[in-house]
Structure 1
Amino acid sequence: MVSVLNTIDTGHEDMIHCADVDYYGLRLATCSSDNSVKIFDIKSGAQTLAADLKGHRGPVWQVAWGHPRYGNVLASCSYDRKVIIWKEAGPGDWTRWYEYSNHDSSVNSVAWAPAEYGLIMACGSSDGSVSILTANVEAGTWDCKKIPNVHTIGCNTVSWCPATVPEPAFDQRPNKTNLAVKRLVTGGCDNAVKIWKEEGDRWEEEKRLELHSDWVRDVAWAPSVGMPRHQIASCSQDRRVVIWTSDDLVTWQPTVLNNFDDVVWNVSWSLTGNILGVSGGDNKVSLWKETNEGQWVCISEDTNTATAPASQQASGGPNNFIPEQRTL
């Protein structure tokens, strides 16, 4: 069963748009329309405010923790057109490591690449483009590339393909690790889901997936642990969640997971990639799993969840579908 384990009074002065737990489950980052990012220590069931980060000049749509092999690093994106990379220099001492401001409109989504590729960030914007930010950790510098015309009107969400090639769970070949070519999946205001592939020093559109009839609000590429195939989940203002499945990255088969009662804002895979979490404008969180017959069934639902979804509006304007929430 999905259940509320704890409630945190964040102290935010406006709507919360995103909450993200770090790799070890010891810290929680939140962001809000009050222009701030907050970090809480949540180990042992306690909640202590560890940092209150001020740097954005507009609503902050999303936060994302980097992999700990690169230190304690947190990314945030905002309506102010900026992406800020925060780094903990010492216990509780958070500084602005890097600030990227080369977008012409709201930055709606940030996502770290798999750690195997290095410290790399993708960010999607309402200007229709996606930027790829690559860190030289030793030099402390960043290289930036922009993919133009990713989605007309705006890009709402971005997610990375796993770094390793999907293999059967019981593959007996020892010490075999295949790094896949870098790929991204994006969703936008053109109702499309698109897959992008790195070709040399450029990114090219590899596949356009069309089934949604309204803005795509979130996409999530499933982890490949023990899975011999690729799966992408997408959700939309058309109230549908679609599971896209491929064995070869060429042909993608869509399956409509469900028609929900309200806008669906977020989709998120479990670490093993076999359970999908869904949340939407009806303030419900549900968990879905595929049966051996290939049918997706709801295995749990919480109808009392009152957490505001992590929505990023491509327009950057008020979102009438989200109730005001300042607690988690």
Structure 2
Amino acid sequence: MAAAAQAELIHDVQLDYFGKQLATAGGDRRIKIYEVVNGEKSHQTAELVGHDGPVWRVAWAHPQFGNVLASCSYDRQVFVWREHSPQQWSLVHKFLGHEGSVNCISFGPREFGLRLACASSDENIAVLTYLGEHSPGQGQWTSTMIKAHKIGVNAVSWAPACSGMRLVTAGCDNLVKIWNCDESGNTWAEEATLGRADERHTDWVRDVAWAPTVDGAAEMIASCSQDKKVIIWTAGRSGEWVPKTIQMSCAVWSVSWSVTGGILAVAGGDNQVTLWRESHVGEWVQIGALEEGGGGLLPSS
């Protein structure tokens, strides 16, 4: 894919809602937008500049808000961009409230309006809310800061809308925490720190992902860590979160759920992406791996 032509290290790649546009976050401080054709070919349509450090993550908003993309960087800044006409982008909001690297961003479910959660090395989460009635550009933004994790916050993920306005975060304190918002939509509080001491990660938690909820299935959260473990947390009937651990061979950097939540992709320090699914007996088993270079799916041996 043409995205491979970006000279510097690419830290993140995200497809938009329809799979028609692809955004990359580069170590060269640039965000590049590509048009995807038949899922196989792409050509660059835009380059967004303005960050003063490596760009760690990009995130697309739901299309009901227009073609809106957010980016975050080592430079402590969060930018919100909008495509106001085909292949023409403008910076519509700049958030400067963090005092450390902004490591992760995530747009919330569209049912809650245009909200963006930001995770930073300054130990805080910021939740940005757009108060305008239309696509960003002519409305006010507000921000709420949440003191979340000692040393820093590495990742943040929203719960599905059916679970209420909730977030899960991953920290440098080895913890995974859930946060909920009151009915005003402005005040956040810690709901839970997942697991007993002997069930938790023992090193920095690098990523966390709340699974989509389909057909009343139990809520699930995946977390991964430098301790070489992936933990699948499942909500029990009495409100507790039950962990199941997948032992990996190296530090794990990223976890991502399929659209329906049935398959979990895991990316580790061995440059491999493996796919996992829960068996009929409740154990998580590897069902395959993504072939290096994007060539296809390799079945598990």
Q: Which moved more, 1:39-48 or 1:154-163?
A: 39-48
1:59 and 2:58 are equivalent in the alignment: no
Shift of 1:301: 1.4
RMSD: 1.6
1:111 and 2:143 are equivalent in the alignment: no
Who is 1:281 aligned against?
A: 269
The one-letter code matched in structure 2 to 1:41 is E
Secondary structure of 2:164's counterpart equals coil
Shift of 1:250: 2.3
Structure having the larger proportion of residues in strand: 2
Who is 2:232 aligned against?
A: 243
Who is 1:315 aligned against?
A: none
Q: d(CA) in 2 for partners of 1:195 and 1:272? A: 21
The one-letter code matched in structure 1 to 2:280 is N
1:205 to 174, 190, 193: 190
Q: d(CA) in 2 for partners of 1:36 and 1:141? A: 26
Shift of 1:295: 1.1
Does the 8 Å CA contact 1:119/1:137 hold for their aligned counterparts?
no
1:188 and 2:171 are equivalent in the alignment: yes
Q: d(CA) in 2 for partners of 1:113 and 1:9? A: 26
How big is each residue's C-alpha offset from its partner over 1:97-135, in whole Å with a ceiling of 9 and x where there is no partner? 100011001000000001111110000000000000011
Who is 1:143 aligned against?
A: 142
Shift of 1:10: 3.8
1:34 and 2:28 are equivalent in the alignment: yes
Secondary structure of 2:64's counterpart equals helix
Does the 8 Å CA contact 2:106/2:117 hold for their aligned counterparts?
yes
Shift of 1:291: 1.1
Does the 8 Å CA contact 2:17/2:60 hold for their aligned counterparts?
yes
Residues 249 and 116 of structure 1, relative CA distance in 2, 3 Å threshold: farther
What is the 5 A alignment of 1:226-305? 226-248=215-237, 250-256=239-245, 258-302=246-290, 304=292
Who is 2:156 aligned against?
A: 158
The one-letter code matched in structure 2 to 1:213 is T
Shift of 1:303: 5.5
Q: d(CA) in 2 for partners of 1:183 and 1:221? A: 10
Who is 2:299 aligned against?
A: none
| Structure 2 gap ranges (5+) | 295-301
Q: TM-score, normalised by structure 1?
A: 0.83
Does the 8 Å CA contact 2:208/2:224 hold for their aligned counterparts?
yes
Q: Which moved more, 1:201-210 or 1:228-237?
A: 201-210
Instruction: Give the number of equivalent residue pairs.
Output: 284
The one-letter code matched in structure 2 to 1:105 is G
Q: d(CA) in 2 for partners of 1:97 and 1:253? A: 42
What is the 5 A alignment of 1:91-110? 91-110=86-105
Shift of 1:248: 4.5
